[in-house]
Amino acid sequence: MIKKNYLSSNIFLAILFFFFIFLFYISNYLFLSELRDSFFFFLWWNQDQFLINYNDFGFVKRGLIGTIFNIDDNNYKFYSKIIALTVVFFIVAIFLLIFKNVNNIQTKKFLLLLALSPFLFLQLGYDFGRFDQFGIAFILLTFLFILKKKSIFILEVFAPFTILIHEIHFFSVVIFFIYIQVELKRKTLNIFYVFLSSIIILITLFFFGGIDEQTYQNFINKYWFIKVYFSNSHIDGYIFFWSDVFKFNTTIFYRHLVSILIFIYLLFFFIKKINSNKLTILVLFFSPCFIIGVDHARFLSLFIVNIYLIFFLILINKKSIIKTPTFKNYYFAIVLLGPWGVNICLPILTIVKKAILYGTLTFN
């Protein structure tokens, strides 16, 4: 009883808050900046996305955040970092509220395991500021509403529009959200609205989410993302990025392959081992991420966070088609793996390699 009360105490929650922020920070400083920048390192291609907006470029993909916050190129480096940090703090706070509202001690431990894993707070630090993190915040908020027995209607209204933040949210937010609606037995009209609206938005972005030639010429020399996101067709873009994967003389290809193989294993696990057609369909709907895009470690990380939460929804609703293993405290050692990565997995291998090379050169 004492142990259970301790895991639920506000003091423990405060300790966890600062520890999760520490994990986020050390991942950002050690793995992303490689000790170069101690003040929340922000990759320039993630930071520049905050400049995409509807005012300058018309109706374009990934333009919602830049439009809402109306950041111009004179102050965007500061304000985009503040916005990204706010999202991270929001994710930590919502996660802790979820943790607080779960009563089962084993479930709490497995939530801690997710928090310490390579896929959540360590990943947030390594991939700091990417628009994916708005989607993570949205999914966590949805689970908090469910635990608090609040209506998710307002979230149903806004769920399709997360695609306007980034197209990945069709896979990482919408399909998981629809599964949640089905699991909660929401009205068919509500489910149909989320699904149909999301499809319409996705198709609209596919055909009309680019920029016109005049705008392209005006901004091509000013912003790097104009050439990356808007100069090629969707197919050309996929071919360009996939061509970068097949570098057999480095670890790049093999570290992409690890994430793909793990996802394939999980795919067959759901199909063969778990008695749920709904979960199987959920995994199949996520599969195109690994074909369309090349950030395989990033996609795997998003999938595992979401499916982990889905498992707890099933357990909390007393529909335990999944039997969790007996928890062992040494599971927490998973934190030593560091963040999972963005395109190639396990950036800790890069850090170790560079440390060895540096040590060798210093010794010589």
Describe the chain by its helix, strand, coil percentages, rounded to 5: 70, 0, 25
Tokens matching residue 243: 């061509």
**Distance separating alpha carbons of residues 106 and 112, to the nearest angstrom:** 10
Rounded to whole angstroms, the Cα distance separating 335 from 130 reads: 22
Alpha-carbon dihedral sign for residues 137, 263, 177, 319: negative
Note down pLDDT in tens along the chain; length 364 residues: 445 565 568 899 999 999 999 999 999 999 999 999 889 999 988 998 999 999 988 899 999 999 999 888 888 899 999 999 999 999 999 999 999 998 888 889 999 999 999 999 999 999 999 999 999 999 999 999 999 999 999 999 999 999 999 999 999 999 999 999 999 999 999 999 999 999 999 999 988 888 888 888 888 877 777 877 777 655 555 555 556 666 667 778 888 999 999 999 999 888 887 778 888 899 999 999 998 888 999 999 999 999 999 988 887 776 555 677 788 889 999 999 999 999 899 999 989 888 887 666 666 5
| Distance separating alpha carbons of residues 230 and 220, to the nearest angstrom | 9
Residue that has been written with the tokens 């294993």 in this structure: 265
Q: Give yes or no for a contact between 118 and 338, defined as CB atoms under 8 angstroms apart.
A: yes
**Within the chain, what is the greatest distance between any pair of CA atoms?**
70
Count of CB atoms situated within 10 Å of the CB of 57: 25
Phi-psi region of 232 (alpha: psi -120 to 50; beta: other; left: phi over 0): beta
pLDDT value of residue 105:
87
Structure token digits, residue 102:
């779960």
